[in-house]
Amino acid sequence: MKHKTAVYRREHFNAAHRLFNPALSADENAALFGKCSYPNYHGHNYEVVLKVVGEINPVTGFVVDTKHLSDLMKEHVLEKFDHRNLNLDTNEFKTLIPTAENIAMVIHQLISPHLAPNLDLTVILYETERNYVEYPA
Amino acid sequence: MKHKTAVYRREHFNAAHRLFNPALSADENAALFGKCSYPNYHGHNYEVVLKVVGEINPVTGFVVDTKHLSDLMKEHVLEKFDHRNLNLDTNEFKTLIPTAENIAMVIHQLISPHLAPNLDLTVILYETERNYVEYPA
Amino acid sequence: MKHKTAVYRREHFNAAHRLFNPALSADENAALFGKCSYPNYHGHNYEVVLKVVGEINPVTGFVVDTKHLSDLMKEHVLEKFDHRNLNLDTNEFKTLIPTAENIAMVIHQLISPHLAPNLDLTVILYETERNYVEYPA
Amino acid sequence: MKHKTAVYRREHFNAAHRLFNPALSADENAALFGKCSYPNYHGHNYEVVLKVVGEINPVTGFVVDTKHLSDLMKEHVLEKFDHRNLNLDTNEFKTLIPTAENIAMVIHQLISPHLAPNLDLTVILYETERNYVEYPA
Amino acid sequence: MKHKTAVYRREHFNAAHRLFNPALSADENAALFGKCSYPNYHGHNYEVVLKVVGEINPVTGFVVDTKHLSDLMKEHVLEKFDHRNLNLDTNEFKTLIPTAENIAMVIHQLISPHLAPNLDLTVILYETERNYVEYPA
Amino acid sequence: MKHKTAVYRREHFNAAHRLFNPALSADENAALFGKCSYPNYHGHNYEVVLKVVGEINPVTGFVVDTKHLSDLMKEHVLEKFDHRNLNLDTNEFKTLIPTAENIAMVIHQLISPHLAPNLDLTVILYETERNYVEYPA
What is the tens place of the pLDDT at every residue in A77-96?
Answer: 999 999 999 999 999 999 99
D1 pLDDT exceeds 70? no
Catalytic residue, candidates A36, A68, A101, A134: A36
Distances D38 to A19, C41, D27, D30 between C-alpha atoms, Å: 21, 42, 12, 8
Give percent helix, percent strand, percent coil of chain D, each to the nearest 5.
Answer: 35, 30, 35
Among partner residues D5, D56, D66, which is closest to E131 by beta-carbon distance? D66
By CB atoms closer than 10 A (0-12, 13-18, 19+), residue D136 is: middle
- D65-78 pLDDT per residue, tens: 999 999 999 999 99
CA dihedral C34→C37→C38→C44, nearest 10 degrees, is 100
Share of chain E above pLDDT 70, in %: 99
Give the separation between CA C10 and CA C5, rounded to whole angstroms. Answer: 17
Share of chain C above pLDDT 90, in %: 98
pLDDT, mean of residues C32-55: 98
pLDDT at residue A125, rounded to an integer: 98
Q: Respond yes or no on whether the N-terminal peptide bond of residue E136 is cis (omega within 30° of 0).
A: yes
How many C-beta atoms surround the C-beta of residue A102 within 10 A?
A: 24
Share of chain A above pLDDT 70, in %: 99
Total domain count for chain F?
A: 1
- B65-119 pLDDT per residue, tens: 999 999 999 999 999 999 999 999 999 999 999 999 999 999 999 999 999 999 9
CA C93-C98-C101 angle, 5° bins: 125
pLDDT, mean of residues B33-55: 98
pLDDT at residue F1, rounded to an integer: 55
Any contact of B with E, at least 3 CB pairs below 8 A? yes
Distances F61 to A64, B85, C122, D96, D121 between C-alpha atoms, Å: 42, 49, 49, 8, 21
C135 Cα to chain A: minimum distance (Å): 5
pLDDT at residue D10, rounded to an integer: 98
Give the separation between CA E49 and CA E47, rounded to whole angstroms. Answer: 7
pLDDT at residue A110, rounded to an integer: 98
E1 pLDDT exceeds 60? no
Confidence of residue E101 (pLDDT cuts 50, 70, 90): very high
Among partner residues D36, D40, D82, which is closest to A88 by beta-carbon distance? D40
Distances C33 to A64, C134, F84 between C-alpha atoms, Å: 12, 20, 14
- Is E6 within 8 Å of F134 (Cβ atoms)? yes
B36 is catalytic: yes
CB contact (8 A) between residue E43 and residue B88: no
Give the separation between CA C49 and CA C68, rounded to whole angstroms. Answer: 14
Backbone φ and ψ for C136, nearest 5 degrees, come out as: -80, 165
C1 pLDDT exceeds 60? no
The single-letter code of the amino acid at C93 is F
pLDDT at residue C57, rounded to an integer: 97
Residue in E1, E10, E12, E62 to test binding to F, most F beta-carbons within 10 Å: E62
CB contact (8 A) between residue A134 and residue B5: yes
C83 is catalytic: yes
Catalytic residue, candidates F28, F55, F75, F83: F83
Rg of chain F, C-alpha, whole Å: 17
By CB atoms closer than 10 A (0-12, 13-18, 19+), residue C120 is: middle
DSSP annotation of E56 reads P
Nearest to C121, CA basis, from C61, C64, C46: C64
- Is B97 within 8 Å of B35 (Cβ atoms)? no
CA dihedral D55→D57→D58→D60, nearest 10 degrees, is -140
Catalytic residue, candidates F12, F36, F68, F76: F36
B136 Cα to chain C: minimum distance (Å): 5
Binding partners of B (≥3 Cβ pairs within 8 A): A, C, E
CB contact (8 A) between residue B36 and residue E88: no
Instruction: Supply the mean pLDDT for chain C.
Output: 97
Maximum separation of any 2 CA atoms in chain E, in Å: 59
Nearest to B123, CA basis, from B95, B93, B90, B100: B100
B86 Cα to chain A: minimum distance (Å): 24
CATH number at residue F19: 3.30.479.10
DSSP annotation of B39 reads T
Give the separation between CA C120 and CA C52, rounded to whole angstroms. Answer: 5
Overall pTM > 0.95: yes
- Is E8 within 8 Å of B37 (Cβ atoms)? no
Q: Which residue of E has its CA nearest to B126?
A: E45
Can you give the residue range of the structural domain that contains A47?
A: 4-135
Residues from chain A contacting residue B121 (CB–CB below 8 Å): none
Give the separation between CA C82 and CA E9, rounded to whole angstroms. Answer: 19
- D11-65 pLDDT per residue, tens: 999 999 999 999 999 999 999 999 999 999 999 999 999 999 999 999 999 999 9
At residue E53, the 3 state secondary structure works out as strand
Give the separation between CA F77 and CA F28, rounded to whole angstroms. Answer: 31
- A55-84 pLDDT per residue, tens: 999 999 999 999 999 999 999 999 999 999
pLDDT at residue A1, rounded to an integer: 55
Backbone φ and ψ for F80, nearest 5 degrees, come out as: -85, -40
Share of chain A above pLDDT 90, in %: 98
Give the separation between CA B85 and CA B74, rounded to whole angstroms. Answer: 17
Nearest to D4, CA basis, from D52, D59, D49, D66: D52
Dihedral sign for Cα C69, C74, C75, C77, please: positive
pLDDT at residue A7, rounded to an integer: 98
Nearest to F126, CA basis, from F48, F57, F53, F30: F48
Rg of chain E, C-alpha, whole Å: 17
ipTM tops 0.85: yes
B1 pLDDT exceeds 90? no
Residues from chain D contacting residue E130 (CB–CB below 8 Å): 9-11, 66
